[in-house]
Every structure is written in structure tokens, then in C-alpha cells.
Chain A
Amino acid sequence: MALIEAKRLTKRFGDFTAVDGIDVEVSQGEAFGFLGPNGAGKSSTMRMIGCVSPLSEGTLRILDMDAASDGPAIRARLGVVPQEDTLDMELTVRDNMWIYGRYFGIPRSAVKERSERLLDFVQLTDRADSRVEALSGGMKRRLTIARSLISEPEILLLDEPTTGLDPQARHVVWERLFRLKQQGVTLVLTTHYMDEAEQLCDRLVVMDRGRIAAEGSPRALIEAHSTREVVELRFAVDEKVDLGPLQGLAERTEQLPDRVLLYVRDGDSAVAELSRRGIAPQSVLVRRSTLEDVFLHLTGRTLVD
């Protein structure tokens, strides 16, 4: 059974359409991602799923209830990590956990026990009595995640869970989310980092300008929309790049402002062919295809600019 089922989901702000009739299904225990650039409509979609934003059109069923009429009952079973931290700056770390539990009407003793356990889970036990203001960005993010878990939600909505974190903090968050997934929590997340999507998502949709451009597992998407390997060529800044000599070298060639991408099955033989043709870029890098390449192929634009 699908835990989340959206049909022709649409969000309009005035006459601007932020989400343009998308169909999405998320099933039990899945980690599902929305990947897309700024303004794609990811947050607008997440807010509708979180039942804090009325749909403009379409239907949205969550946990077998109707988002339009059963908002409070649905929200009781969701955990939400919004794009911007909305921690209570006037309270301490521990009090943030406590009051959030009370918002859900969870009995005091249970809130107490869970807060301690969750603060430990996100490694904030030693900061429990600090004011939230004094925390670093990564700590705040971890606290927001811990807070969202106080109600032991069946579905966890994470809007860009690691944006703005340093690599180490991101890995801590990823590792925690992975553990939650293993515990059977259904994860729905948005991101504009392809590595995050690849790390965490079983299945994802690529979103662009309010529409879904493609859907599948990260691997399937890469297989369907890109080649196995990519050769990245960088030329000197003032050099005028002539794509002529590259003809027939790759299945597909993309020219970006700062580099040229060759989509090939075998990177090393392509590099060998390059030198045979006497092409000598400033740097050559062979790498595997990522979702970034999928996105570039589908939309003609890069994901993070």
C-alpha cells in the first residue's frame, strides 16, 4: 500500500504555478527523494505533504487519509524537518524537545525518556542545557532532526536535511537517517545534492520547474539517462574550445561554461583517443556518471550553480 499518494498535485501562488500537477507514490519503508534545483517546487510539495499548505488542485492521500480534511490526524503521525530550522530560540535544547513532544500531546514521562534517547542519538546530550542560539548550524540541524522524531513518526519529511553543513556533519546526518530507514521509518527528502540522493534514496524523482522530469532508482536513472563514465575536460580560461576534433568521441557531449563533458562507456579508452587526436586540455578527469549528469541531460541545466 502506498503511504503517500499524490495525483495531479498542484500548487499555485497567485498565477504562478510552483508545483504543476505531479503524480507521486511513496510506499512503506522506502526512502524517496525529490531532486531539483532552486525553485523547482520541492519545498512547496513537501509543505503540502506536511499538511501545512492547502493544495490548489489534485488529490493527496497520506496514511490512507485525505490531506485536505484530515490534516491534524496526519500531522500527528509525521515528523517534519523544514528547510529552515524553526527551533525555539527562547528555550534550551532539552526544552525544545520537551515542548515539541507536548505539542503532540505525548505523555510527560514518555517525552522525557525519548528526549534523552534522541539527544543521545544526534550526539547533543552534552549540549542539552545550552540555549539553542549558541549551537552551530550543524548542531541545530541535528536538533531539528531529533525533535522531529519525538513523536516516533511513521513518515519523516526532510527538506534539504544537510544543506549548509560541512562534509563531516553531513555524514553524521546521513548515517543517522540511514539507521532510521533500517528501523522502518519511511523517509521523504528533498535535496539538490546528487551524492545525497544517491546515498539515501531508494527511488527519486527529478523535479524541474514544478514538473517531474524523470523517476526511478538512482542507478536506473543513471542507466537510462547517462553513460557509465564521464570524461571531464577543462581548458585554459581564454582558450576558445572547438568541439570539432571531439566529434564521434563520445555518445554525447555537453559544453558547460567551465568544462566539456564527454559521455562515454569507457573513460580510459576515450582519454587515449584524445591524445591520439592531439587534444591536450588543461586537465582531464574520468569519473562515473552521477545524478548530476542525469539532471543535465534531462533539463540542459546544472543542478548546483
Chain B
Amino acid sequence: MTVGQHVLVARILPRLPGARGSVGAVVTRDLMAARRNWIVPLSGFFEPLLYLLSLGIGLGSLIGKIPGPGGHLVGYREFVAPALLASSAMNGGIFESANVFFKMKFGKIYDTMLATPIEPIHIALGEILYALMRGVTYSVGFLGVMLALGLIESPWALLALPAAVLIGFGFGACGTAAATYFRTWQDMEWMTLAVLPMFLFSTTFYPLSTYDGWLQGVVRVTPLYQGVALLRELILGPVGLSAVGHAAYFVAMGAVGLALTGRRIKHLLLT
């Protein structure tokens, strides 16, 4: 570690015990509020599942084998399932942003928290953690279904869950950060506008080779493509160094989203 990193660690570590309590309290609050409306969160889980059943299995029965990540042929539903797992992790992370918007703008939840020892970055961490927890819940459920349907082929698939956590973190952090910029409920539409095309075109339903050269480049930089590629590698094999690159993408996405969320909360509420 460099000197700078040492200083950073020395400054952050002593604060961690307190921070853990604060972040925990933020998450606890969300869990308490969620006890009342647990139906809503389930939609994010069922959506990918329904796609798996209709497109993967239904439509898939009409489609022959197609090339997987390593070029070897896989069945269509095996091909689609990891992508839908990635999008369920994405949904979990992103759906939470609507709640963040509400809590900040109308619920005054963060104003209340900031009157206590809790700091903006604790709120950011807590909210992203909660979004992530929702993403993980979806992912676990979806993985269970995949397992039951025999859609898991590689032992690397053990890593699919931590990878889904990472994907949830990246999307949760950026979704939360985006929510701090919303002014009205209509602004939520922008989120949908970003998510839906991503869901449809990030090689979810067909391989990257379908696109022309430059379009491939565009698709490659989108976050859902990165998630789909990561999970496809882990679940269908073979796993290469590229998996590390995809993982790093989500670490970076999460870190940026986290820092941005903390700064926005500070900027908007500590006036």
C-alpha cells in the first residue's frame, strides 16, 4: 500500500464500528417499512422468471442450439437463463431507487437520520446495501429455479451468487445515485427508458455476434451486457480472465454510485 492508502485506512478504520451501527440502522429502517408492503418487491422476481418460461422454454423449443461464451453449443434456455439472472439482480438494485426518491423527497426520512449521528455516506451505504439485498433475494430465488430446471452446467456456477451480488451492488449504487437527481415522479420514466432497452438488447436473448462491428462495441460497454457476460461465463463455462474484467466493472460502478449518492445527500439535505 502507498502512504496515501495507509493514511486513508488509518482514518477510516477507527470509524468503522460506529459506521456499522449507523449503516445497520438505515437498513433496519427499510426492513421495518418493507414489512408492510412485501408484495411489490416480488414483481421484480417474477418478471425474469416469466421470461424464462415463455421465451427460454416456450420459444426456445423452436430454436436450435446456439454458441455459448466459449463457442461451444448450448440449448436456448441454458443460454437465456444466466442473462435473466443478471437482469433480476439489476431489477432488485434499480427498483429500490423509486423508494429512495420517495424517502428523500416526501418521507423526510434522511432529514431525520441526519439529525442523529448518522452521516450522508452511512445513508448511501445503507440504502445501497438494502437495494443489494433485494437484488440478492431475487437472484437466490432465480438460481433455485435454474437449479431445479437443470440449467446449471459449470461448477463455476457456485460463483454465480457472489457475482449476482456484485451486479446488484453496481446497479443499486447507480440507481440510488440517479434517484437523487429526480425532481418529480415523471423523472422515473428516464430510469425505465434506460432499463428496458438494456434488458432487450444486452445479448439477453441472442449472442453478441448478431450485431455489426460498431454496434458490438456499444453493447459491450452497457452494464447489463457486462453482467450477462459474467454470469454466462460462470454458469456455462469456460471461465477466462475476462470474468475478472466484468467483475471489476461492477466494483467501479458501485464505488462511483456510492460516492455520488453520499455527495448528493450531503449537497441536497445539509443546506
Contact = CB atoms under 8 A, between A and B. Distances in A.
Interface stretch (B87-95, B111-119, B146-154, B168-176): B111-119
Interface string B179-193: 000000000000000
B33 A88 contact: yes
A86 B111 CA distance: 7
Interface in A88-125: 88-91, 95, 99-100, 102-105
Contacts of A71: 119
Given A52-B270, A53-B271, A105-B18, A88 B116 contact: no
Interface stretch (A75-83, A172-180, A224-232, A259-267): A75-83
B164 to A, nearest CB: 28
Contact of B113 (A54, A76, A82, A103): A103
Nearest to A131: B36
A105 B22 contact: yes
Nearest to B28: A102
A78 B108 CA distance: 19
B25 A72 contact: no
Contact of A90 (B28, B33, B114): B33
A76 B270 contact: no
B156 to A, nearest CB: 40
Contacts of B118: 72, 103
Given A102-B28, A105-B21, A88 B112 contact: yes
Interface string A156-195: 0000000000000000000000000000000000000000
A73 interface: yes
Interface string B196-210: 000000000000000
Residue of B25, B108, B114, B116 with most chain A CB atoms under a 10 A cut-off = B116
B117 A103 contact: yes
B22 A103 contact: yes
A95 B36 CA distance: 13
A73 B113 CA distance: 14
Contacts of B144: none
Contact of B33 (A73, A91, A102): A91
A151 B115 CA distance: 12
B269 interface: yes
A50 interface: yes
A86 B112 contact: yes
Contacts of A100: 112, 116
Give the size range of A's interface with the partner: 20 to 34
Contact of A52 (B33, B109, B115): B115
Given A73-B117, A103-B22, A95 B32 contact: yes
A84 B271 CA distance: 16
A90 B103 CA distance: 10
B117 A90 contact: no
A75 B117 contact: yes
A73 B28 CA distance: 22
B167 to A, nearest CB: 28
A50 B115 contact: yes
A104 B112 CA distance: 11
A78 B117 CA distance: 10
Contacts of B113: 103
B33 to A, nearest CB: 4
B263 to A, nearest CB: 14
B107 interface: yes
Contacts of A80: 115
Contact of B111 (A54, A82, A89, A90): A82
Residue of A52, A71, A99 with most chain B CB atoms under a 10 A cut-off = A99
A91 B271 contact: no
Contact of A72 (B32, B109, B119): B119
Nearest to A104: B116
Nearest to A88: B109
Nearest to A144: B112
A99 B29 contact: yes
A47 to B, nearest CB: 8
Contacts of A73: 117
Interface in A38-93: 50, 52-54, 71-73, 75-76, 78, 80, 82, 84, 86-91
A109 B243 CA distance: 46
Nearest to A75: B117
Contacts of B111: 52, 82, 86
A103 to B, nearest CB: 4
Contacts of A82: 111, 115
Contacts of A102: 24-25, 28-29
A-B pairs, top 4 by smallest CB distance, nearest first, are A103-B116, A90-B33, A86-B108, A105-B21
25 contacts: A13-B271, A50-B115, A52-B114, A53-B270, A54-B270, A71-B119, A72-B18, A72-B118, A75-B115, A76-B117, A80-B115, A86-B115, A91-B33, A99-B32, A100-B116, A102-B25, A102-B28, A103-B112, A103-B113, A103-B116, A103-B118, A105-B18, A105-B25, A105-B117, A151-B116
